[in-house]
Amino acid sequence: MLHKVALIAIPGVAPFEFGTVCEVFGIDRTDHGGPEFDFTIVTAEPGPVRTSLGYDMMISAGLDQAADADLIAVPAHEIDADVHPEVVRLLQEASARGAWILSICSGAFTLAKSGLLSGRRATTHWMHADRLARDFPDIEVDPDVLFVEDGTIITGAGTASGIDACLHLIRLELGASAANVVARRMVVPPQRSGGQSQYIATPIPECRSDSFAEVTAWMLENLDQELTVDELARKALMSPRTFARRFKADTGATPGAWLNRQRLLRAQQLLEESTLALDGVAAESGFGTAAVMRHHFSKTLNTTPAAYRRAFTLRATA
For residues 76-94, give the mean pLDDT. 96
For residues 163-186, give the mean pLDDT. 90
Rounded to the nearest integer, the mean pLDDT of the chain is 89
Query: Between residues 139 and 211, which one has the greater pLDDT?
Result: 139
Q: Over 70: is that where the pLDDT of 80 sits?
A: yes
Using pLDDT thresholds of 50, 70 and 90, give the confidence band for residue 317: low
Q: How many CB atoms within 10 Å of residue 312?
A: 19
Q: What DSSP assignment string belongs to 241-275?
A: HHHHHHHHHHHSS-HHHHHHHHHHHHHHHHHHH--
Query: Between residues 49 and 175, which one has the greater pLDDT?
Result: 49
pLDDT of 94 reads: 98
Of the candidate ranges 19-23, 118-122, 144-148, the one whose mean pLDDT is the lowest: 144-148
pLDDT of 144 reads: 83
Give the Cα separation of 92 and 59 in Å (integer).
22
Give the Cα separation of 69 and 102 in Å (integer).
12
- Percent of all residues in the chain with a pLDDT value above 90, rounded to a whole number: 70
pTM above 0.75, yes or no: no
Using pLDDT thresholds of 50, 70 and 90, give the confidence band for residue 318: low
